[in-house]
Chain A
């Protein structure tokens, strides 16, 4: 099945929660409402005609102009050899999305990464901690309005010019 057929199938089931096919440079995609993510994901995985058994990638991107943090689910079916891209726009002021961890276990760490770098709360996630940055890190660095802290545990994050260092010597 191609993206258009999958979109039609989902639209018949979920109605307004599944948006129209949007064309993009690389993959056409479908916008899904944040509240319906888990149900849509379950159908995508379990319906025999779709059978998306593999979550290729799960990533996020901050879009301040739209007031959204966009989360992209890239799916692939080894049974039917077809792919599908689903996007979810979480509200920037209150970014909360249902987890798909119980649909695709691979989402566990990917969702933790998105939480770490963009601050999206995945409701129902079993272990929502930071994945890469230290636990005591302040802020979410991949947000466009992130301001770097001047120091971390007494280590300044600014490097003096080498010319100044040689002058002092």
Chain B
């Protein structure tokens, strides 16, 4: 404590893990992955009214610089294979948010011959946001939940991580 008392007031002390997590959660770039009507709500969330930019989030057009994939809309079986490829192109650490009933479980279209019933059949999902489609408030809450999850991650110690467990929004 004596050491801490000697540093000036403008210096903050923190743990390295927390600092890394804080930087990561504060610049969460998301990949544009609008597949159906949920994409409209996602655009609305990115717009000025609910403004994802205040969390340091920015839409990216390529998976190679993205941290988060917001799967917004009905996932067809044809798209499911491509989704997997896109997910594998994202650099670690990467996160997936499943937005809306369709990407959660196939939703209204789950009995159709061409629809994949849930994106979690193809890639691991971190946060599920229910709704058809979810309002921007719901998506924002899901993103805050994801940030909460990111703050719990530990990168410097090797131990079983929270990553694979899905948090329910």
Interfacial residues, chain A to chain B (CB-CB below 8 A): 132-134, 141, 146, 148, 152-153, 155-159, 162
A157 pairs with B117, CB closer than 8 A? yes
> Is residue B34 within 8 Å, beta carbon to beta carbon, of the partner chain?
no
Name the interface size band of chain B. Answer: 10 to 19
Task: Give the CA-CA distance A155 to B122 in the complex, in Å.
Answer: 7
> Is residue B15 within 8 Å, beta carbon to beta carbon, of the partner chain?
no
Report B-chain residues with C-beta under 8 Å of the C-beta of A162.
105
A155 pairs with B114, CB closer than 8 A? no
Interfacial residues, chain B to chain A (CB-CB below 8 A): 77-78, 80-81, 105-106, 110, 113-114, 116-118, 121-122
Nearest CB of chain B from residue A158's CB, rounded to whole Å: 8
Interface centre among B77, B113, B122 (most CB of A within 10 A): B113
Nearest CB of chain B from residue A118's CB, rounded to whole Å: 13
Report A-chain residues with C-beta under 8 Å of the C-beta of B121.
155-156
Given contacts A159-B105, A162-B105, contact A153 B114 (CB under 8 A): no
Task: Give the CA-CA distance A153 to B81 in the complex, in Å.
Answer: 8
Nearest CB of chain A from residue B34's CB, rounded to whole Å: 19
Interface centre among A132, A148, A159 (most CB of B within 10 A): A159
Which 8 pairs of residues, A with B, have the shortest CB-CB distance? A159-B117, A141-B113, A134-B78, A152-B77, A148-B113, A155-B121, A159-B110, A155-B80
Chain A residues touching B, majority SS: loop
Nearest CB of chain B from residue A50's CB, rounded to whole Å: 38
Task: Give the CA-CA distance A136 to B116 in the complex, in Å.
Answer: 16
A133 pairs with B105, CB closer than 8 A? no
Report A-chain residues with C-beta under 8 Å of the C-beta of B106.
159
B118 pairs with A146, CB closer than 8 A? no
Task: Give the CA-CA distance A152 to B80 in the complex, in Å.
Answer: 10
Report A-chain residues with C-beta under 8 Å of the C-beta of B118.
159
Nearest CB of chain B from residue A157's CB, rounded to whole Å: 7
Report B-chain residues with C-beta under 8 Å of the C-beta of A158.
117
A133 pairs with B122, CB closer than 8 A? no
Closest to A142 in B: B113
Report B-chain residues with C-beta under 8 Å of the C-beta of A146.
113
Report A-chain residues with C-beta under 8 Å of the C-beta of B113.
141, 146, 148, 157
Closest to B78 in A: A134
Report B-chain residues with C-beta under 8 Å of the C-beta of A155.
77, 80, 116, 121-122
Report B-chain residues with C-beta under 8 Å of the C-beta of A148.
113
Nearest CB of chain A from residue B99's CB, rounded to whole Å: 18
Known interface pairs A141-B113, A155-B122, A157-B77; 12 further A-B residue pairs with C-beta atoms within 8 A, sorted by A's residue number: A132-B114, A133-B78, A134-B78, A146-B113, A148-B113, A153-B77, A155-B80, A155-B116, A155-B121, A157-B113, A157-B116, A158-B117
A133 pairs with B114, CB closer than 8 A? yes
